[in-house]
Structure 1
């Protein structure tokens, strides 16, 4: 840590045109069209479950119970859509119209009365159910957290490039089956390293201890995988896509080149595969990792007390995303801060938070430009914004 560095306070740029204010009809309009689109997707998932739902996720939710949620989603979409015509002289009535339209399409397709039956399992499908549940859960948990305990109160929900990150969010969840297939295939190549005695020993210890062991082993692999993306010049342009986000919030963590998304899941699958822990422990780790991955990107000042010296928290990970000199190439860990401390990449300057986010050189701002960036930067030998000073 550089003791002479002058840390500054971050002041988000005011964006009044992007603010969501009560009584204008914009909130109700956006809510209406969001619920309308999700309702159509949900009905399609009920109609074609083999193609649009994930086998693993179907085992943990009740399809008939979720139809109740679908029913209220459709009704609220219509109600909120009508509200946009009343508020502020219907300035955002186009949003309400689309919301109502999508809800009516959902009802015409069968709505919440589509029969729920057995599902023919398919290895490859789109994770529409995973997308819907993850989006609703993230909005309820993390967006609420950001509004109740924001780090930067001035940062708006629909901040610059929110739509780009929403695309990444949708892609990552829809492609979950393909990601799992690739990850399992990759991990299976390490069958030669499996020890029946080791796995039996691990399965004999308490579940909570198995979860702790999984976290540490996964964190070790993710630390070095992450560090490699930063410090190997050939790999950095791929990972730079994730670092190109300049406003961190719950949605920002979704931004990532598909090469990194697939490789990261494949790498973390190796320790899970070799440990052979109980299914309950694996499920607990998956929930922990999924929640933490979103939380650490959140715009929140949620206090963690002494836990922030053990686990990766928003403040710790925000520094990883900073383009300020002392923070560059630091804080690689995904779950705990242990390996950053052990290997000299720990940066946690007291109560300070970053003043700047992003890469040292701006990347393309579109999804297509970012996807092609690793190729164009090497072919054109452009400055990749490598986080080296």
Structure 2
């Protein structure tokens, strides 16, 4: 029984060599570098908007106003790059140099003065605008929360494999257009189930109630999809990539095999398509789901009070990522705890947090190794079956 399990506290050792400390030039160097890279990406996106921005997102933001943000981001990158030189005489100068160089290239290509006009929509594009806005927003919201209210104070921003998860973060956002095309193609096979009268009834109820209906419906689909990835042997190697994370934070939730990324988005589109809710309710849900997906992976020690008995919170979802025996194959829900309670997969010892994360059998630690991991497992099983 879980009550007999010996829960132990998690020990996180601080790697002082990778710690950010004021006055050393490392903070300014990395900030200059990232702002320089983002500035260059933004400029390229302004030059080729049909190919490198997302049609849906362009409807929301003002491209000309964002050019002002770009201008100050470029100036900040240059100032921070110079500051790196002033603060440091050695190790981090290359960060400042790189940040300034990226920004200089961005300025040479037109910088924040590129004319903005009508954009011809493209069926497929790279979501550079989505990547930039999501990255800056996540840094501002979630990284700030982790620094203010950390669960594990010794866990650093550049914890082990942060670069691997940054790649997944970038891929998931750049591929948003392809993901939406695949999802829309997938749901088109459910035209036979659409009921105009049912959808009209749904749209007649208040927006907030529509939102609640979406959350519960989407959560039911995501619960069973998630559970299938755990309990069907053929699917587990795909989902194991997500569970290979051994240090949980805001960036960790991005790690996932591309097969799961595409299938998950396609599956959750089905209830949204069949419900036919108002655009306002849909926008609220999309915002809620995007924020919660990052939040529940955060290194965040906030208890969330009574909300933890209703919604999926960091502590609840951290247990899903635990490699400890009582927590394995539990807490599948994405939005609420309803279906885990209903289907007896709820595990939430509220006075404890996991002592260890990851899979019981360690996966490769590189993106390529993780991408090929399911194929290697399936081939090994097929070989074993034929030689048995």
- Do both proteins adopt the same fold according to a TM-score greater than 0.5, normalized to the shorter chain? yes
Output the CA distance in 2 between the equivalents of 1:82 and 1:377: 50
Match of 1:222 in 2: 222
Output the CA distance in 1 between the equivalents of 2:288 and 2:125: 25
Q: Does 1:142 align with 2:138?
A: no
Q: Does 1:334 align with 2:321?
A: no
Match of 2:203 in 1: 203
Match of 1:253 in 2: 253
Shift of 1:370: 0.2
Superposition pairs of residues 156-195 of structure 1, within 5 angstroms: 156-195=156-195
Match of 1:385 in 2: none
Superposition pairs of residues 18-37 of structure 1, within 5 angstroms: 18-37=18-37
Output the CA distance in 2 between the equivalents of 1:302 and 1:183: 34
Shift of 1:381: 3.5
TM-score normalised to structure 1 length = 0.97
Output the CA distance in 1 between the equivalents of 2:306 and 2:81: 46
**CA contact under 8 A between 1:84 and 1:90: conserved in structure 2?**
no
**CA contact under 8 A between 1:84 and 1:91: conserved in structure 2?**
no
Moved over 3 A (4+): none
Output the CA distance in 1 between the equivalents of 2:339 and 2:291: 20
Q: Does 1:375 align with 2:380?
A: no
Shift of 1:351: 1.8
Gaps of 5+ in 2: 383-388
TM-score normalised to structure 2 length = 0.98
Superposition pairs of residues 338-377 of structure 1, within 5 angstroms: 338-377=338-377
Gaps of 5+ in 1: 383-389
Secondary structure in structure 2 of the residue aligned to 1:96:
helix
Output the CA distance in 2 between the equivalents of 1:159 and 1:284: 33
Output the CA distance in 2 between the equivalents of 1:243 and 1:255: 8
Match of 1:92 in 2: 92
Match of 1:265 in 2: 265
Output the CA distance in 1 between the equivalents of 2:108 and 2:89: 30
Output the CA distance in 1 between the equivalents of 2:31 and 2:226: 36
Match of 2:305 in 1: 305
**CA contact under 8 A between 1:315 and 1:353: conserved in structure 2?**
yes
Superposition pairs of residues 45-194 of structure 1, within 5 angstroms: 45-194=45-194
Match of 1:285 in 2: 285
Output the CA distance in 1 between the equivalents of 2:65 and 2:303: 35
Output the CA distance in 1 between the equivalents of 2:303 and 2:59: 35
Count residues in correspondence. Answer: 382
